[in-house]
Chain A
């Protein structure tokens, strides 16, 4: 009888409900879109047409999927940075500013040195972008660790500062010489050398940044769970006092968590310039350049359970949602404000669905324990202390 309990139907059920939970963000998104359907109806749009346009726009064709992937690259990179920051128990909402500074530095280098072989410049630019972002993230890190300045304050401020630096540079020292003469005075830089542009995959806008980002996701996983540095970052994130007692330099690792997080955002910025637009251009706001990747990247990481590898599909799905929503706007001609509102609804629903996921997980754990208790002890006397449920 005990044998049959052990081999009862629990394991298969367990797996099914685990898959259900892993897909919870998807279900939550669907729920949010159902609520959104009400708004669509109120605006006189057909929800069926709208949502099929959304899916079509995100995944419906080769080109559409390529657009989704392009959108997901900065989300993934910033999501990876968020994973690191989270594990280090720091909150990095400075992704917008870090992206901008990384982009500025890497663009400046690309425009200043025009005679290098393409592959070399791309590597240098990636390093420069990461460096820019690292500085812009490391500064809040230093401020937090050594001056006790909360990183939410410093990153919010530094986002705003970064925008002004960008505006100044792009209309001033870094402006395209053509524009400087023209009456249109567009605040943009010159275009990068053709050789410097990130090669594309397939005849679409998708560039190799995607592959680089995926590789980096694996690297982040290894960093966090297979290296001493990662261990220390996580230890400081879990318990500062204990880590200090254990001999870890707490302050240094706080700085490192924010610095690394910023580096990824900076790299995302470089990719926008080298992979997508081939120049840096501003409309005066931060979202004009980053596309809100600074915030959306954090959301994508959350959808990916703050695990670097799972953030990959999460970013693609979330990227698809964003791309598809814009496509939907074009088809049913609803105001873009609705799309923003839907974006918000999705975030709220997904973040709320965590509750159900955790609750189911706990139930599964309890069920497993109950199963274990009912099984005969492998060694006599093992379960003597435990009172059968």
Chain B
């Protein structure tokens, strides 16, 4: 029966599902990466995702306008990011705990708003599958890679864009400098505060879009607590990826494809307990990271508040 796994249908299915499942991790992970690179840890990603998911869904439900929905999600994410930034940068609060607080707040608010403004679970018409002309017609590959949702494409495009920003632009240099040695950056004239606010707000926006990708693109529905912990996985994947965009991509794909694999294992009736199958992505992520040799060192100033001397 294990041999059943090695058929084309299964492999296509795993990669295809993996790509879809990875999408929210990519958005949220990159957002978190920028924040952490500048020295700020945000554990509230889950709350931002839920609020973003609800906002986008609500807008589509009421107006049918997908573009507006994404804008609304961006706005909400930016607000959450701003709040997080104020608390951790201006008030220099303990970042980890502040994040947990925002997570609880975001979860509570999204549920409350859903109950009071909508109240019933119903599906909507979200982003449709966008088949890329020509490329989408290639057998097998076309089906997997080029017949996905717009937001899926954006998530994957985000990776090289993030890499470029981080490594090839002045902004990226500033971000990295602020995360490594804020005092030195400050003495060179970089506004540590402004850079950190920027990355944290960006992180909020991307987390919000991650949530929106679930509710108005991939699943076309909203339900309370629908992210089920994906926000925390996204944060974990930043560490897996050593704070590098392509590392995060690798992590997101590894986790998601193993998740897709375990579903196939169950579907094909391979006799392992369902709980063991469900565990697989989590175990493998740890094992792969433990065994990987190229682990980057994190930003030295991560979680350390910055205070201007003098």
Identify the A interface with B (CB < 8 A): 39, 43, 91, 93, 143, 147-150, 152-154, 156-158, 160-161, 164-165, 167-168, 172, 295, 298-299, 302, 335, 337-348, 351-352, 354-355, 358
Give B295's nearest chain A residue, CB to CB: A148
List residues of chain B with CB under 8 Å of any chain A CB. 43, 47, 83, 87, 90-94, 96-98, 100-109, 111-112, 115-116, 224, 229, 232-233, 235-237, 239-240, 273, 275-276, 278-279, 282-283, 285-286, 289-291, 295, 298
Tell me whether A354 and B116 are in contact (CB under 8 A): no
What CA separation (Å) do A149 and B286 show in the bound complex? 8
Contact A341 B108 (CB under 8 A): yes
Given contacts A150-B298, A351-B94, is CB(A161)–CB(B105) below 8 Å? no
Residues of B within 8 A of A172 (CB): 273
User: Assuming A143-B290, A153-B285, A355-B92, is B101 touching A337 (CB within 8 A)?
Assistant: no
Partner of A335, one of B43, B104, B112, B235: B112
Shortest CB distance A167–B (Å): 5
Bound together, the chains give a CA A236 to CA B289 distance in angstroms of: 24
Residue of B nearest to A169 (CB): B275
User: Among A168, A339, A342, which residue has the most Cβ atoms of chain B within 10 A?
Assistant: A168
CB distance from B97 to the nearest CB of A (A): 5
CB < 8 Å neighbour of A342 from B97, B108, B237: B108
* A-B contact sample (5 more), CB < 8 A, given A153-B236, A342-B108, A344-B47: A91-B96, A337-B224, A343-B108, A344-B106, A348-B93
Chain A residues closer than 8 Å to B115, beta-carbon distance? 335, 337
Q: How far is the CA of A164 from the CA of B229 in the complex (A)?
A: 14
Cβ–Cβ < 8 Å partners of A161 in chain B: 279, 282-283
B283 surroundings in chain A (CB, below 8 A): 157, 161
Given contact pairs A143-B290, A299-B100, A348 touches B87 in the complex (Cβ within 8 A): yes
Which one of A149, A345, A358 lies within 8 Å of B290 (CB-CB)?
A149
Please determine whether A157 and B286 come into contact, CB atoms closer than 8 angstroms.
yes
Q: Is the CB of B286 within 8 A of A153?
A: yes
Q: Which of A91, A149, A346, A348 contacts B289 (CB 8 A)?
A: A149
Of the residues B100, B116, B235, contact of A156 by C-beta under 8 Å: B235
Closest to A32 in B: B101
Contacts of B93 in A (CB 8 A): 348, 351-352, 354-355
Q: Are B236 and A165 in contact (CB under 8 A)?
A: no
A165–B115 Cα gap in the complex (Å)?
Answer: 33
Which residues of A are found within 8 Å of B285, using beta-carbon distances?
Answer: 153, 157
Residues of A within 8 A of B278 (CB): 164
Q: Across the interface, do B109 and A341 meet the contact criterion of CB distance under 8 Å?
A: yes
